Amino acid sequence: MISLIKDETGDSRIVGTILMVGIVVFLSVIVVAASLVLAPGIEKLPQSSISVQSYKETSSPDIKIQHTGGDRLMAGDWWISIVPAGEAPNFRRSSTDFCVGDQIITATLTSGEGNYIVTNGTVSTDGTVHAMNPGEYDVKIIIYPFQSLVLDKVIEVR
């Protein structure tokens, strides 16, 4: 008589391992999904489209910065720097929201002394005004809480 020996332990080990891996992956997905849903205070980075150009409608050298689309930039969260190209940025804090359609027309650099007032219409100071002359200027807007630039452009002013 021929006797056949069956070893059934190999199948149960493989099935057990696959079941354990499946359970761990399933529980991991549930924990990650729950933590994302229940996580409080996660803020979304504003996505805005901002243009800058030399403002040719006046006879003096100045620029126009316009919010052309996207999210509102909240007062105090956005900071602006307007300096001659090649100089280190000198950011000044905003005091108003910057919304779609708003435009800043200015000839004031942010590298001067004094208190600066930055609104959705102008940049001014109570100190000595450092005005633009024809040349290249580096214009930056940063969302300070996120340390994220929404505008970084060198512009030729005539």
In a domain, residue 136? The reply is: yes
Summarize the confidence of residues 26-30 as an average pLDDT: 94
- Residue that has been written with the tokens 């190209």 in this structure: 85
If one counts the domains in the chain, the total is: 1
In a domain, residue 130? The reply is: yes
Residue 37's pLDDT band (cuts 50, 70, 90):
confident
pTM for this one? 0.72
Which pLDDT value is given to residue 29?
94
Which pLDDT value is given to residue 5?
62
Which pLDDT value is given to residue 158?
83
In a domain, residue 126? The reply is: yes
* CATH code of 153's domain: 2.60.40
Summarize the confidence of residues 21-28 as an average pLDDT: 95
In a domain, residue 18? The reply is: no
Characterize 100-130 residue by residue with b for buried, 16 or more Cβ atoms within 10 angstroms of its Cβ, and e for exposed. eebbbebbbbbeeeeebbbbbeebebeeeeb
Average pLDDT over all residues of the chain: 89
In a domain, residue 137? The reply is: yes
In a domain, residue 76? The reply is: yes
Q: Domain span at residue 129?
A: 48-157
pLDDT in tens, 133-142: 999 999 999 9
In a domain, residue 57? The reply is: yes
In a domain, residue 121? The reply is: yes
Q: What percentage of residues in the chain have a pLDDT greater than 90?
A: 66
Which pLDDT value is given to residue 88?
95
